[in-house]
Structure 1
Amino acid sequence: MLFLYVIVLLCCVGLWIAGIVEQRRHFASLEQIPTRVLVNGIRGKSSITRLCAGALRGGDLVTVAKTTGTAARFIHPDGTEEPIYRKFGLSNIVEQIGIVRRAATYRPDALVIECMAVMPALQEINQEKLIRSTIGVLCNVREDHLEEMGPTLDDVARSLSRSMPVGGVCVTAEKDRLHILQEEADKRNCRLIAVDPETVTDAELRGFSWFTFKENVAIALAVAELLGVERQTAMQGMWDAPPDPGVLSVERYVTPEGKQLRFANVFAANDPESTLMNVQQLEDLGAIRRPLNVVINCRPDRVERNGQMGAIVPDLAAETVFLIGHPTKSARDAIPAAFTGRVVDLGGDRRDPEEVTESILAELGPSSSMVAIGNIHGQGELFLECLAGLPLDESEDPFEGVPQGDGLDQETMQIVLVRPQVALARPPEPEPYSWVAPLETTHSFHIPNQRELARQFAATHGRSDGPGRSDSDGRPDSQSAPADPRLSYDQPQSTRNP
């Protein structure tokens, strides 16, 4: 018995030592990245991460980024990206250790990384142990994840504040609970910067080939300013940045019966406030029109959110509401009795998605608009795949006959141009013993092998981990660093509208 106790004790000591070694190794990787930006909040984190990274790249800063939203991506300093492979499809904040280690091989000026923790305690661990950000971003406080961070929005604000850097800077676009964020920032000796979305002009928004909000752009500009990047240079970098796969988009289809359909995928905005804001902006821009049809996808593990989506149906003023997924009763019961439109229940987790899609299309008029809200997973993903199989409608100008309404500048219509289907593409299967699968998109080109890239950057920067290292910077005595090591990158391909 004593022998077993000794074995257990030795195992515990071994694990303790291994943990210390791993932690010190991780902190050493963090020290190689002078600026670390942690993006947190409820809605828009992935888009803000891409905007911040694009703005810093525009300022000639070597920047690595990682998103976690609709599709997790590792974004290289040249703007190309790869999907992040996860065993069994499960996400865990421990993956941030590998991301930091991989980012450090580039010796970057900055790392922009999206927070993937939800539980308040994990958010603090993510900040204090994994990222140790120097600049924090807290984009907004919305009604989501109330089970973990709630039950009130004030509680959500305090929970999100646990990711603020102690003694650092935090940028936010939140207005309603700014006083709570300021209180939490003062506790951490953190300087809170509140941005004004109205400082972003309509002309600057017109440079984007994808839909975004002034709040997101204002946050990215503030981060760029903190790092010494000029405004116009930062805007150019953001214009050239590829959009997130889950970005808000409007597609125009033709159904098998010849009906014209404008479809807006608003699944990414899966809280009531963001959903209403997205739909209202699309309507103001003329991207969708009345009569409006709404598809609500339900999930068994998001019953509360299903009810929230049902409760806002009168605010959407929908003509017909289609309920898909399971359990649809949670959304149907939340629809107020005052709603005068039609409710079509097509729920069921085992229902054929093609049958569901055909039933929905059969109920539409000859020219209709439809928005999909709620949760994308489950029947929502299958519904999008079925719609993607429909032919695109190219019979008319997308903006022909758009009402002027509210004095909007007609030129801003270009931000909702039809885009290629990115969100529906599944990442290729990873190679054996590789945690990242290569990806080529319309916004990127071939990505070299990771070892090849690391060797190239080490040689370019004159840094080496092997023999021949002669000074504190890792440069051999016979060599000096190039005048601009960033010239070793290929220029990213522009995605800005002509």
Structure 2
Amino acid sequence: MLIISVILILLLSLLIIEKRMLQKSIGSMNLRIHVNGTRGKSSVTEYIAAGVASSRPEVMAKITGIIPSVIHNGVIQTVDRNGAARVQEQVNILRSAFRKKVKTMVLECMSIAPELQKLEGSIFQPHFYVITNIRDDHREEMGKDIESQADAICSAIPANCRVITGESKFIKKIEEKASAGNSTVITAGELDERLREKLPWGIFPENVALALTVCREAGIDPDLAEEGIMNWIAGTKSPLTTMLYGGKKIRFLNAFAVNDIESTESFIGYWKEVSGHTDRITVILNTRADRPVRTDLFSEWIANNRDSFDLIILTGNHRTRARYKLSESGFEKEKVICWNSREMRSPVKSLVSTVSDGAFVTGIGNIGGDGFHIINELR
């Protein structure tokens, strides 16, 4: 019994020490910004960090998006992740930031479950809480409809901070939740036409406007913030690439990370207009068994817009379910192709042998698993 009591005392002591060290790490940062929302979190996090770094030293950003990474003073480093994503990863990043004497931290929210979103906020204690937008996604964890998902995101709004958002549909809900915790809400307006004309194709003006608003509210000189963000954007890659392979010219649009229907439609429509493509397209739907609702939603969307597509290529570990849903809806079986391990050994060759010259192909659904493999092959 004495031994158990000693062990419990030691564990409690370690927890107290751990909490104090974490509080010390967070307290050393004089500007803390937490970025949440459905779409555009990674881009907005990058833009904010670039804008703040234009006039402040020792700025770090943690990106959760396609490839988890840390940006410290403009240098990108991939985060080594063993197993599934956990909030502990954010804690480790905050400790690293403290050791590196970081003064500004821009942290993309990595949690999906509502209670974990709240936990992140309570740990980080941000001065600014950014909500990019609210779209229908992650039904498994955040609720079966967009109202529930809006509640999940808004419930994580910390007390006594400034909330900055580009979301308009749920602005009243955001204001109510913020007011309950003595937080204030600031809405980002539209980007002025002068800056819009400077943006490369594929950069969403609303994300830039949101980042500039955050920088302004944080006391960053607007001209310097704009210069920093525009310089960062100039170094980003376009999601639309052109392949010349096997005598064929194929355009590929990477939309794997755009996980909700509304944003996917907008994203594809935008890039079709930019590229001048007016015909039907081929879709690679990458599926995940741990995202079954997403599989069903994208399959239904494809079936409801069948005249827009030439072929549907199914990849990932939930492709059998997608094929079933498409068949159930009456989608033409001859237009649906399942890629197995043989095709995935060389997805570029498989794609070239499948589509015709001049094809416009877009990857949708999920970036994980086969999506990563396809993108790496295309690079």
Other-structure match for 1:82: 77
Deviates more, 1:133-142 or 1:106-115: 106-115
Q: In the TM superposition, what whole-angstrom CA distance separates every residue of 1:8-49 from its partner, at most 9, and x where no partner exists?
A: 221111111111111011111111111100001111111110
Matching residue within 101, 105, 115 for 2:109: 115
Amino acid at match of 1:252: T
Aligned pair 1:29/2:31, yes or no?
no
Aligned pair 1:49/2:45, yes or no?
yes
Aligned pair 1:144/2:137, yes or no?
yes
Aligned pair 1:93/2:77, yes or no?
no
* Secondary structure of 1:319's aligned partner: strand
Other-structure match for 2:338: 346
Take 1:355 and 1:113, find their aligned partners in 2: how far apart are those partners?
A: 36
Take 1:193 and 1:327, find their aligned partners in 2: how far apart are those partners?
A: 41
Matched ranges for 1:363-442 at <5 A:
363-386=354-377, 388=378, 421=379
Other-structure match for 2:121: 127
Amino acid at match of 1:178: I
Q: Give the conservation status (yes or no) of the 8 Å contact 1:135–1:165.
A: no
Deviation at 1:244, TM superposition (A): 9.6
Aligned pair 1:14/2:10, yes or no?
yes
Amino acid at match of 2:70: F
Take 1:370 and 1:305, find their aligned partners in 2: how far apart are those partners?
A: 20
Deviation at 1:346, TM superposition (A): 1.4
Take 2:16 and 2:201, find their aligned partners in 1: how far apart are those partners?
A: 45
Deviation at 1:121, TM superposition (A): 1.1
Aligned pair 1:272/2:264, yes or no?
no
Deviates more, 1:178-187 or 1:375-384: 375-384
Deviation at 1:262, TM superposition (A): 0.6
Amino acid at match of 1:29: S
Take 2:312 and 2:282, find their aligned partners in 1: how far apart are those partners?
A: 6
Deviation at 1:329, TM superposition (A): 3.4
Take 1:112 and 1:121, find their aligned partners in 2: how far apart are those partners?
A: 21
Take 1:307 and 1:243, find their aligned partners in 2: how far apart are those partners?
A: 37
Q: In the TM superposition, what whole-angstrom CA distance separates every residue of 1:451-479 from its partner, at most 9, and x where no partner exists?
A: xxxxxxxxxxxxxxxxxxxxxxxxxxxxx
Q: Give the conservation status (yes or no) of the 8 Å contact 2:323–2:336.
A: no
Aligned pair 1:192/2:194, yes or no?
no
Q: In the TM superposition, what whole-angstrom CA distance separates every residue of 1:143-176 from its partner, at most 9, and x where no partner exists?
A: 2111111022111111112332211111111122
* Secondary structure of 1:345's aligned partner: strand
Other-structure match for 1:175: 168
Q: Give the conservation status (yes or no) of the 8 Å contact 2:37–2:153.
A: yes
- With structure 2 as the length reference, what TM-score do the two structures score? 0.91
Matching residue within 296, 304, 313 for 1:307: 296
* Secondary structure of 2:335's aligned partner: strand
Going from structure 1 to structure 2, the CA distance change for 1:11 and 1:354 (only over 3 Å counts) comes to: same
- If you compute each CA radius of gyration, which structure gives the higher value, 1 or 2? 1
Take 2:192 and 2:281, find their aligned partners in 1: how far apart are those partners?
A: 30
Matching residue within 323, 328, 334 for 2:319: 328
* Secondary structure of 2:34's aligned partner: strand
Q: Give the conservation status (yes or no) of the 8 Å contact 2:136–2:260.
A: yes
Take 1:376 and 1:244, find their aligned partners in 2: how far apart are those partners?
A: 22
Take 2:270 and 2:255, find their aligned partners in 1: how far apart are those partners?
A: 12
* Secondary structure of 2:252's aligned partner: strand
Take 2:70 and 2:196, find their aligned partners in 1: how far apart are those partners?
A: 26
RMSD: 2.4
Going from structure 1 to structure 2, the CA distance change for 1:371 and 1:288 (only over 3 Å counts) comes to: farther
Amino acid at match of 2:211: A
Identity percentage over the alignment? 27
Deviates more, 1:369-378 or 1:320-329: 320-329
Take 1:315 and 1:194, find their aligned partners in 2: how far apart are those partners?
A: 34
Take 1:119 and 1:244, find their aligned partners in 2: how far apart are those partners?
A: 33
Take 1:70 and 1:364, find their aligned partners in 2: how far apart are those partners?
A: 27
Matched ranges for 1:197-212 at <5 A:
198-201=190-193, 203-208=194-199, 211-212=202-203
* Secondary structure of 2:51's aligned partner: helix
* Secondary structure of 1:159's aligned partner: helix
Deviation at 1:304, TM superposition (A): 1.3
- With structure 1 as the length reference, what TM-score do the two structures score? 0.70
Take 2:184 and 2:201, find their aligned partners in 1: how far apart are those partners?
A: 32
Take 1:242 and 1:215, find their aligned partners in 2: how far apart are those partners?
A: 14
Matching residue within 259, 271, 289 for 1:282: 271
Amino acid at match of 2:69: R
Deviation at 1:250, TM superposition (A): 0.6
User: Which runs of 5 or more structure 2 residues have no equivalent in the other structure?
Assistant: none
Going from structure 1 to structure 2, the CA distance change for 1:318 and 1:83 (only over 3 Å counts) comes to: same
Take 1:19 and 1:243, find their aligned partners in 2: how far apart are those partners?
A: 45
Deviates more, 1:208-217 or 1:162-171: 208-217
Aligned pair 1:251/2:237, yes or no?
no
Take 2:144 and 2:353, find their aligned partners in 1: how far apart are those partners?
A: 41
Going from structure 1 to structure 2, the CA distance change for 1:51 and 1:230 (only over 3 Å counts) comes to: same
Say how many residue pairs are matched: 376
Q: Give the conservation status (yes or no) of the 8 Å contact 1:299–1:306.
A: yes
Take 1:326 and 1:108, find their aligned partners in 2: how far apart are those partners?
A: 41
Deviation at 1:351, TM superposition (A): 4.0
Which structure has greater strand proportion?
A: 2
